[in-house]
Structure 1
Amino acid sequence: MSAVTPSPEPAERNPRYTVAAVARRLGVAPATLRTWNRRYGLGPADHVSGTRRRYGPHDLARLEFMCRLTQDGIAPAEAARIARSTLIDDLPESRWPRSAPGIDDRPCVIGPGPGLSAGGAGRGQPGQAGSGEHAGAVTSADDDCGGLDEPAVADLAGARGSGGRVLRLADAGIAARGLARAAMALDSSAVTRILAHAVAADGVVAAWQELVCPVLVAVGRRWEQRGDAVDVEHLLSDCVAAVFRRAADREIDGHGRPVLLACAPAEQHSLALTALAAGLAERGASVRVLGAAVPITALRNAIVRVGPVAVFLWSQRRTSADVQVLTGLPVTRPPTSIVVGGSGWQRSTLPGRVRHAGSLREALDLLTGAPLQG
């Protein structure tokens, strides 16, 4: 069998798929498939002019290979060139079945079935409405980014036309869309690879603002609207934390005063701290991370023992933003800067020596003493 022109197969072993079915499977719009066909030549290989387009298994293999390449950060034109020039026998096998009568009219899903809970570090159960840990999964996913670069993110693709397993992100780049597809497929390897590439290529702030926040917020809104995809949020949050922790684990001059990061005593969500720690390490600052729900006594003791140059206190929820915690922090010599972040503090009247950071970049500037960037 030729690698370029495979011999004909019986119809039952060589199914054909409609444009709509392929678009649902890949998590793209049908118009995108038409563009790829017109611009890159990635259409049905045996299409006859004047007939409806039907994609065969080899066509799907090329398209899936292109999607994998774009998920790895390769530009669409280059990904299409690679997919088009790769021999059929060298393409990764399509994940669609070789024989499935009527599959072209069946809704296709990118990921497995629904999950159960959400919430970054310290998650609760979404079924426990109004619990102290969780006021709905959207609280977890949305507010994990609240106050540290809140991006413009869009709504979700509804069940109609998307198979119910696609996140639609308005104005998102190819990397964010690839991250969303990988997360919805519960492909932790691809999620980790995309995030690590973004951090290495564009830096922590860009990776957090342009990739992590849009996808986390979309997953949280999906839970709010449909009650599923919490398994996706768990996997995505764990991958984000792992990638940013690796980014924070670099050689830093240990002689300078460190920055101390902690969550408010009643705050369980600590994902934003991992991004902040990675951003500080990227700037060469020494960091100590205490994590979620740090008791006030422990926080005071840590400040006295470490003598940090700055303290950052995260509060995602209003119920955990206790101003009394701030007024009770010890005064050090030389002085320690106090910075707070998270949407929980937005309506609080802060003590005079406390600064509020409204974005990840602003928090980094305040904690490192850098001039604030507009």
Structure 2
Amino acid sequence: MRVDLFDFELPQDRIALRPVRPRDAARMLLVRGADAEFEDRGVRDLPDLLEPGDVLVFNDTRVIPAQLEGRRAGGEAKIGATLHKRIDLRRWQAFVRNAKRVKQTDQLVFGGGVTAIAEQRHADGSITLLFEGDEPVEVLLDRAGTMPLPPYIAQKRGVDEQDLTDYQTMFAQEDGAVAAPTASLHFTQELIDAIDRRGINRETLTLHVGAGTFLPVKADDTDDHAMHAEFGRITETTAERLNAARAAGGRIIAVGTTALRLLESAAGKDGTIQPFSGDTDIFITPGYTFRGVDGLMTNFHLPKSTLMMLVSALMGRDRMMAAYDHAIANNYRFYSYGDSSLLLP
């Protein structure tokens, strides 16, 4: 399928540079299947838009300060590294800015005395970094790293202390993400209390979002695009509860495309969710048959992105293009710090 089928024009002033406060004050576009009218709602309406017995599934990954700035040892070349995927306790795969100046075995010097060796260059241009020393890499990143905000925010205003909390969900428990599962940024304790009172169930899984989520699709056809693998985990207990809720008539509603991708990776042909622990590189495009989810809460995505293709697969391309036209015309805020949508096929 042609990638340009998922393109659209977005005015730059619609890109949200800060989240609304409180978080659950964001707007939410309700998109149902077929020819139902689009509904301009708010995130606080979510409990009333779902039914008792439905299940909201959240991603409990925690964003680490994965953006590093430094130089090549013995030289003046400035190097930027965005960690992408953990390999082992001391090695991370990273996308490196100015990578042409980095050779295998070069030492890279970052802030706070943190150093790493460039071990291996991969076909996608990323580099394996071996962090030196005895301190845990998490400690080194806390000392030298910054929050890895999406380029469309960081390049406009930079990164500051407020982002340490703004770019972290209330569910964040498991260290390892280099991008936030942004649909969950809208939740507050007050909204969770209202969800619980409504009788809507909640479950969590873990998918460590990689920096590949920011990369544009460079291929002209979706068949030629390769997804980066990300590590995910669904426990046996969580899988059992999800299957039981569905058997009782409840719907599984993924909060964010990351939760959806892992649920679909774990779903059997009959829709049963299996326990999962490992990498997934699932790429969902129109024509895909969904098995693990019945709906999705998600922010508004970039043109020609894999996530725009995913929501088009769920609702239909024409339906989603019309929804985005509506959102633009009605001044919705886009991308990571922007407004939300609820997609119910």
With the length of structure 2 as denominator, give the TM-score of the two structures.
0.28
- Greater fraction strand: 2
- Greater fraction helix: 1
Which structure carries more relative contact order (alpha carbon 8 Å, separation 6+)? 2
Larger radius of gyration: 1
